[in-house]
Amino acid sequence: MRTVKLSGGRTLTTADLNRSGALPRDVMDAAGAIVDDVRRRGDEAVRAYCMRFDHACPEAFRVPESVIRGALDMVDTGFLDSLRRAHDQILAFHEREREESWFMTRDDGTIMGVKVTPVASAAVYVPGGRAQYPSTVLMDAIPAKVAGVRAWSWSRRAAARRQRDGSLSAYTLAAAAVAGVDEVYAVGGAQAIGAVAYGTETIPAVDKIVGPGNAYVAAAKRHVSGDVGIDMVAGPSEVCVLADATADPVVVAADLMAQAEHDPMASCYLVTCDATLAERVADAIERLVVQSPREEITRTSLDDRGVVVVTDTLDAAIGAVNVVAPEHLELHCADAMGLLGKVRNAGAIFVGAWSSEPLGDYVAGPNHTLPTGGTARFSSPLGVYDFQKRSSVICYTPEGMAADARCRTWHRRRACGRTPSPWGCAEGSWSGAPIPSTTSLPPARMPCVPPGLASSPSPASPACGGSSHDVEHPSRGPRPHEARRRSAGAL
């Protein structure tokens, strides 16, 4: 692990972290080409890419319901009990995240509020290259179900590089059954993202795509973002351990290794204000890594992407943590809970030595789909709110409409660059006379009409280059809100 020493007031910078940053251009181009091809050719292209990359393709992409339910009988009871416990705890946590519609009523009777609506459908991408991730099914599908979404799962075939029969993991399917996933499709990679974003003959398009994947999956999600909603463009996993002199170096070493063994691209950070602890953690890693069944992956991650930051003070160490803005942050400090308020940037915070990060990944309850690569500065974990939309609601009474008309008039004055009359942008001055009552409102006057939008200019609608929101189209009659204003004037 590379060491960065901060002293004499020096602070950590993003350059010290040596992060790879954005997805490589060649990956973006390749993923974009696959997605565009799937959009053009549909199932034919999906099948071609499945054979090219996975060397297998099922006759039908959709997994029968009987196969999904049958997976529950194929897994051992110990795993199933653990799966159900995790499900219940993840569900209990996310039910507290559900947002509800709300409304407020002003003194004049006008109603304002927010209408909360679930997205109509969502796809959960479940990776399956190096390992199987049934926990991802639970973590990503349960919030969608709590929000009221119809949730579908797009899953890569189990160990596709090793199994040529295209079979799916029974553990992944069992998790889909427990989570209540509505449909499962056996297709992965960038081609799956293209299929679910735009739809094919047999794979329906959805409104939102969530879930982790490799660099090509992440690039494909970025490519379709805007045409369909996505949760985030996730990079390799990462952990940061903030430790003081009271930390156990063996426990710290084990927690760093638990993340490093996931992926050779995983990043591991140790931030400490005790230089001797850093040395003891390094010694512990050397003793433990030889016992790991994933020693090669763990060593590659720690050697290539491991960083130790040593500071003079604990406050400086916390400042360094906020620069790292890690996906997972562990606090191995004497007053861990007392430090919580100083942490600004982290996807998930594990407080105290007993709060092991792997428990958060699988069973604790909070979501394990987290912002990576420093994006915790502005992003949050996946939650129920990611599957809900908010619409503003405005319902005026005649009294409320009259009371707000003056504000609108002065806003239009700024837009038109002219001194307004109470009901438009006509020439002249207005001394700020009170708005007429709703029983004596004057007939509505046409607003400013930019040149070319009206059949002929009129004194009531000078071509002053202002807003055209209320312009009456000669062939369509008044717009709805213009008609409402005229009705109010006739009261």
Just list the catalytic residues.
327-328
Q: Is 61 left (phi over 0), alpha (psi -120 to 50) or beta?
A: alpha
Give the list of residues 6+ apart from residue 360 with CB closer than 8 angstroms, or none. 328, 348, 350, 366, 368
Count other C-beta atoms under 10 Å from residue 165's C-beta.
Answer: 9
Cα–Cα dist 480/486, whole Å: 10
What is the amino acid identity at position 295?
E
Check if the beta carbon of residue 36 is closer than 8 Å to that of residue 45: no
Cα–Cα dist 6/317, whole Å: 9
In angstroms, the Cα distances linking 145 to 229, 303, 313, 345, 364 are 17, 41, 45, 28, 18
In this structure, the dihedral spanned by the alpha carbons of residues 261, 262, 266 and 272, taken in order and rounded to 10 degrees, is -50
Tokens 């407080």 appear where? 351
Q: At what angle do helices 43-54 and 189-198 cross, to 10 degrees?
A: 160
In angstroms, the Cα distances linking 303 to 231, 317, 324 are 30, 22, 18
Q: Phi and psi (nearest 5°) for 28?
A: -60, -45
Cα–Cα dist 380/348, whole Å: 9
Cα–Cα dist 344/361, whole Å: 21
DSSP for 209-244 reads EE----HHHHHHHHHHBTTBEES----S-EEEEEE-
Counting beta carbons within 10 angstroms of the beta carbon of residue 96, is it exposed (0 to 12), middle (13 to 18) or buried (19 or more)? exposed
For residue 395 the two structure tokens come to 């319902």
